[in-house]
A and B are shown apart, each in its own frame.
Chain A
Amino acid sequence: MVSGDLWIVVPALNESESIRGVVASLRAAGYEYVCVVDDGSTDATGRIAHESGAYVLRHIVNLGQGASLQTGISFALSRGAQYICTFDADGQHSPDAIATMFQILALRDVDVVLGSRFLGRTVGMPWGRLILLKAALAFTQLHSRLRVTDAHNGLRLLSRKAASEITIGQPGMAHASDILQQVADKGLTYAEVPVTITYSEYSKRKGQPGFEAFKILLDLLYRWMAYRR
């Protein structure tokens, strides 16, 4: 892999506590192209990300994580990225996983590599989160008919082909199911890689509340109806 080929897209909303560490760890791991999408933060997320060596794209108002990912992906593609990795801003992911994912992508010649905490392990995951994730997984498996083991993991590696073909139409948190649905619809090949997700007190505080599940379901229903129109 040539250094300029891989772009890391980090969507961030009010992550001033963690973004410096996340960008620094990615830079220290040798990833030169780290793109933080500041999704209308009201704190210093964008400034800190820039100081830490990231490209910063700023949404002037908050749009949601899905919209941030698509902004980062569109930007990376415009800069000639051959591979795009999506990475969470709250410090749950380890940069070490990216190299493994890249190896799998090259070895198996797939379009998308998905991180799976249920093939790997989790540290400190609350029970409520586990139930929510399993429910989301069941819905996604039913809806997309993909036999994935983790539907809402923010750690993904996309080839240029996959990143170009997938258009994230869900601005909010329903984007994870949306991406998988498009992987299925467009016949993209994929593989899963075990990853470790570490839930710190900070990341748990930043996580999605339970009622978001209902909103996600409504958004997916809308998108499903809109596509069928």
Chain B
Amino acid sequence: MTFIIIALLLLLAVYIGTQRLSGLQTAAMVCFVLFGIVLVVFQDLTTNLAHALNVGRGTDLLFYCSLLAGLFLASNFYFRFKRNEDVNVAVIRQIAIDHVIEPSEKWKAE
């Protein structure tokens, strides 16, 4: 099982290598993969860490870390979505202004 999980993590690393990520994002993902491998190889490490942090079990520590990672990813996607929204709004606004429909001459004459 250990080898399968390590293989999956390495596959994830290869996949990350094919993605267009920023330096910071690549570094974060590489750390994630390395951290995962370390935890799989040294299984008592999470328990020791959990005790040191006064969390309880190693499983709980991993669960809390996953929650934090999920929240981070969700907020990251939200910010990206908002940035894309800003671009869409600017483009659609310009199209609207470029194609303004003027009132007919009847109204302009009044």
Contact = CB atoms under 8 A, between A and B. Distances in A.
B103 A57 contact: no
B100 A63 contact: no
B93 A222 contact: no
Contact of A60 (B79, B82, B92, B97): B92
A75 B100 contact: yes
A194 interface: no
B78 A222 contact: yes
Contacts of A50: 101, 103-104
B89 interface: yes
A56 B78 contact: no
Interface in B87-110: 88-89, 92-93, 95-97, 99-104, 107, 110
23 contacts: A37-B96, A50-B104, A53-B104, A53-B110, A54-B103, A56-B100, A56-B101, A57-B96, A57-B97, A58-B99, A58-B101, A59-B96, A60-B92, A60-B96, A61-B92, A63-B88, A63-B89, A63-B92, A71-B97, A74-B93, A78-B97, A171-B89, A222-B79
B103 A53 contact: yes
A155 to B, nearest CB: 23
A137 B99 CA distance: 37
B44 interface: no
Given A53-B107, A222-B82, A46 B92 contact: no
A71 B103 contact: no
Nearest to B103: A53
Given A53-B107, A171-B89, A226-B82, A60 B101 contact: no
Given A53-B107, A61-B92, A63-B89, A46 B97 contact: no
Interface of A: 27, 32, 37, 46, 50, 53-61, 63, 67, 70-71, 74-75, 78, 169, 171, 222, 226
Contacts of B82: 222, 226
Interface of B: 78-79, 82, 85-86, 88-89, 92-93, 95-97, 99-104, 107, 110
A70 B90 CA distance: 10
A79 to B, nearest CB: 9
B108 to A, nearest CB: 8
Contacts of A57: 96-97, 99-101
A55 B104 CA distance: 9
A55 B102 contact: yes
Contacts of B79: 222, 226
Nearest to B107: A53
Nearest to B86: A169
A32 B99 CA distance: 20
A11 B86 CA distance: 18
B51 to A, nearest CB: 35
Contacts of B107: 27, 53
B101 A75 contact: no
